[in-house]
C-alpha cells in the first residue's frame, strides 16, 4: 500500500477512535503522554468483549486451564531471575535536532534490512553504511544528525513500599514487563491448591509496562498495555504435540472472530532465546500500518522459567508424576497476545468505507459478539408518544444486552453514528409502531430493514447476536 494511503487511513482511524469515544491520548489536557492511551466508553466495551472471548476459549471451555490474577508488582528478584534486568533492552537511536527516539532495528526495517535482536555492533555497521550513503534521516524532522544505536532498558521502575522517596538500586521495584512472571511464581500454589495434573495451563489477563522506544503506531506498541497470556506446563515429551495443538487452537480463534485466512500468517523466529526450542508469531496484515505485524507469540520455552525461579528463590518447583514416579521441572508452552493490540487489529479489520448514493458511509463491521453496543433504540421523533414506547423497549432489552437509547439528531445521522461504532442493529420506533406494535430493525452491514413485533424483539436479537 502506498505510504500516503496508509497514513491517511491511520489518521482516519485515530480520528474515529477519538471522535466516537474508543481511544483517547492519555493526559491530553496536560499535553499528553507518548505511547499511553485511555479507552473511552466504546473502546472499553470492545476491549472487554475481546478479553471475554479470549477467556471463554482459553479457560471457560477447557478443563486443563485455570485462571489467575496476579499482582503487577512482584519481588524484584523475579526480574533478575528471568533475565529481564540484565537483558530486556532495545537499541535506541536519537535525533539530536528534534529529540525524537527510534528503534535502530525499526529504522533498518524501513530499508528492508532485517535486524531483529541483532547485536549492537551489527546494527551500527548497517546504520553507518546508510549514513555514508546519505540515506539515514530522522523520520520526524528530516535531520541527518542521528546518534549511533545504544542500549536502552525497557524495564519501568518504581519505589513502591520504600521508606525513602528516592529511587535507588536497593529500593527499586519493577512494574512487570509481561504478565507471565506472575504465573511462574504462582505455579506452586496452583498445583498445591487446585491439584492440577500435567499438562495444564494457567491463564491471565493484565497490565504490563515497557519503556518502549516510541514509533508512531497508535495503540500497536504502547508503554502501558494489557496482555493475555497462558502458560501450559507439561512433560518435555509432550511438547511437540501440545505445541501443534495450541498453534491450531489460537489460529482458529482468529478465524472464528471474523479474521480472514488471507489476513493472517505465521512468522517463524530464526533467532531463538537460548532456552527456547520453537517460536512462531501470528501476524496480521494491518491496513493502517501497511503490512503484516506481530499480534501473538506462541513459544516453546523449555524449563528455563521454573528452573530460574527455583534457583533464585531456593524453593523446589519440581513436579512429581505419581503414575511414573518421575520428578522433574515442567517445561512451558506459552501463548501471549496483547489485548490492546487486538483492539487495534479488530478495528483495523472492521473499518470499512462504502459509497451510499453520493455519500461515503464509514462502518465498523465488527463481529457481533465483539461489537460494543448490540443494538440502539431510536425513536423517529422526540415526541413523547414515540419516546415513551422506545424507552420501554430499551428498558426491556438492556437487561440482556448492551443497548443504547438515542433520540438526538435526524434518524440518518443516528444511523451513521451507530455504523461508526459498529452497532449491529438499529431499532426504530415510528408512528406505525403505535398501531402495529412493531419496530423497524436495520442491519448494520446490509442496511436492510425488517419489521419485527415488539414482543418478539428480544428473542430476535438474541438469535441474531448469538
| Residues of the shown chain interacting with ligand GAP in the complex, contacts defined by CB under 6 A | 178, 180, 210, 212, 221-222, 225, 227, 229, 294-297, 334, 336-338, 340-341
Biggest distance spanned by C-alpha atoms of the chain: 79
* Alpha-carbon gap, residue 27 to 37, rounded angstroms: 8
* Alpha-carbon gap, residue 393 to 408, rounded angstroms: 17
* Minimum gap (Å) between residue 277 Cβ and ligand GAP: 15
Q: Of 49 and 227, which CB lies nearer to ligand GAP in the complex structure?
A: 227
Task: At 159, list the grid cell.
Answer: 519505589
Q: Of 253 and 394, which CB lies nearer to ligand GAP in the complex structure?
A: 253
* Alpha-carbon gap, residue 4 to 19, rounded angstroms: 22
Q: Of 199 and 338, which CB lies nearer to ligand GAP in the complex structure?
A: 338
* Minimum gap (Å) between residue 198 Cβ and ligand GAP: 20
* Alpha-carbon gap, residue 441 to 80, rounded angstroms: 58
* Minimum gap (Å) between residue 103 Cβ and ligand GAP: 11
Q: Of 188 and 210, which CB lies nearer to ligand GAP in the complex structure?
A: 210
* Minimum gap (Å) between residue 300 Cβ and ligand GAP: 12
Grid look-up 555492533 returns 121
Q: Which residues contact 109 (CB under 8 A, 6 or more apart)?
A: 115
Grid look-up 498495555 returns 225
* Minimum gap (Å) between residue 220 Cβ and ligand GAP: 7
Strands 264-268 and 278-286: antiparallel
Q: Of 304 and 425, which CB lies nearer to ligand GAP in the complex structure?
A: 304
* Minimum gap (Å) between residue 159 Cβ and ligand GAP: 23
User: If we measure between CA atoms, which residue out of 83, 75, 78, 72 comes closest to residue 153?
Assistant: 83
Q: Of 201 and 338, which CB lies nearer to ligand GAP in the complex structure?
A: 338
* Alpha-carbon gap, residue 370 to 466, rounded angstroms: 11
Return the SS3 of 336.
strand
Task: At 220, list the grid cell.
Answer: 500497536
DSSP category for residue 371: -
- Decide: 443 and 424 in contact? Cβ < 8 Å: yes
Q: Of 297 and 424, which CB lies nearer to ligand GAP in the complex structure?
A: 297
User: If we measure between CA atoms, which residue out of 245, 247, 241, 308 comes closest to residue 273?
Assistant: 308
Q: Of 212 and 419, which CB lies nearer to ligand GAP in the complex structure?
A: 212
* Minimum gap (Å) between residue 337 Cβ and ligand GAP: 5
User: If we measure between CA atoms, which residue out of 305, 308, 281 comes closest to residue 293?
Assistant: 281
* Minimum gap (Å) between residue 210 Cβ and ligand GAP: 5
Residue nearest to ligand GAP (CB): 338
- Decide: 141 and 126 in contact? Cβ < 8 Å: no
* Minimum gap (Å) between residue 275 Cβ and ligand GAP: 12
Alpha carbon 405 to its chain centroid, in Å, reads 29
Q: Of 50 and 438, which CB lies nearer to ligand GAP in the complex structure?
A: 50
DSSP category for residue 148: P
Amino acid at each position: 500500500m502506498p505510504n500516503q494511503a496508509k497514513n491517511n487511513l491511520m489518521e482516519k482511524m485515530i480520528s474515529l477512535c477519538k471522535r466516537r469515544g474508543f481511544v483517547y491520548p492519555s493526559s491530553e489536557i496536560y499535553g499528553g503522554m507518548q505511547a499511553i492511551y485511555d479507552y473511552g466508553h466504546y473502546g472499553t466495551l470492545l476491549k472487554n468483549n475481546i478479553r471475554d472471548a479470549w477467556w471463554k476459549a482459553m479457560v471457560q471451555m477447557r478443563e486443563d486451564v485455570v485462571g489467575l490474577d496476579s499482582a503487577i508488582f512482584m519481588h524484584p528478584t523475579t526480574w533478575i531471575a528471568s533475565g529481564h534486568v540484565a537483558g530486556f533492552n532495545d537499541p535506541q537511536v536519537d535525533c539530536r535536532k528534534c529529540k525524537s527516539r527510534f528503534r535502530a532495528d525499526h529504522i533498518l526495517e524501513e530499508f528492508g534490512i532485517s535486524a531483529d535482536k541483532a547485536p549492537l555492533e551489527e546494527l551500527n555497521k548497517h546504520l553507518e553504511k546508510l549514513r555514508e550513503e546519505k540515506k539515514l534521516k530522522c523520520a520526524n524532522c528530516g535531520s541527518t544528525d542521528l546518534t549511533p544505536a545504544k542500549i536502552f532498558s525497557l524495564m519501568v521502575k518504581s519505589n513502591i513500599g520504600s521508606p525513602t522517596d528516592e529511587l535507588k538500586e536497593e529500593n527499586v521495584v519493577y512494574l512487570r514487563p509481561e504478565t507471565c512472571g506472575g504465573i511462574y511464581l504462582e505455579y506452586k500454589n496452583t498445583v498445591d491448591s487446585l491439584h492440577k495434573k500435567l499438562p495444564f495451563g494457567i491463564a491471565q489477563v493484565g497490565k504490563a509496562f515497557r519503556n518502549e522506544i516510541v514509533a508512531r503506531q497508535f495503540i500497536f506498541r504502547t508503554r502501558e498495555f494489557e496482555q493475555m497470556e497462558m502458560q501450559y506446563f507439561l512433560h518435555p515429551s509432550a511438547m511437540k504435540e501440545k505445541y501443534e495443538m495450541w498453534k491450531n487452537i489460537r489460529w482458529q480463534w482468529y478465524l472464528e472472530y471474523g479474521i480472514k485466512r488471507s489476513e493472517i500468517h505465521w512468522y517463524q523466529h530464526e533467532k531463538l532465546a537460548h532456552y527456547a526450542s520453537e517460536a512462531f508469531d501470528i501476524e496480521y496484515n494491518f491496513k493502517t500500518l501497511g503490512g503484516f505485524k506481530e499480534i501473538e507469540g506462541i513459544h516453546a520455552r523449555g524449563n528455563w522459567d521454573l528452573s530460574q525461579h527455583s534457583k533464585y528463590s531456593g524453593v523446589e518447583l519440581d513436579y512429581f508424576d505419581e503414575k511414573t514416579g518421575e520428578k522433574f521441572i515442567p517445561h512451558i508452552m506459552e501463548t501471549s497476545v496483547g489485548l490492546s493490540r487486538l483492539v487495534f487489529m479488530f478495528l483495523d479489520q472492521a473499518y470499512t468505507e462504502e459509497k451510499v448514493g453520493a455519500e461515503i458511509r464509514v462502518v465498523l463491521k465488527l463481529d457481533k459478539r465483539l461489537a460494543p453496543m448490540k443494538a440502539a433504540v431510536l425513536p423517529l421523533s422526540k415526541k413523547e408518544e414515540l419516546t415513551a414506547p422506545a424507552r420501554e423497549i430499551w428498558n426491556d432489552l438492556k437487561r440482556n444486552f448492551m443497548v443504547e437509547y438515542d433520540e438526538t439528531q435526524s434518524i440518518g445521522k443516528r444511523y451513521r453514528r451507530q455504523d461508526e461504532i459498529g452497532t449491529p442493529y438499529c431499532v426504530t420506533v415510528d408512528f406505525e409502531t403505535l398501531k402495529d406494535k412493531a419496530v423497524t430493525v436495520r442491519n448494520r452491514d446490509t442496511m436492510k430493514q425488517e419489521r419485527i413485533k415488539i414482543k418478539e424483539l428480544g428473542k430476535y436479537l438474541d438469535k441474531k447476536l448469538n
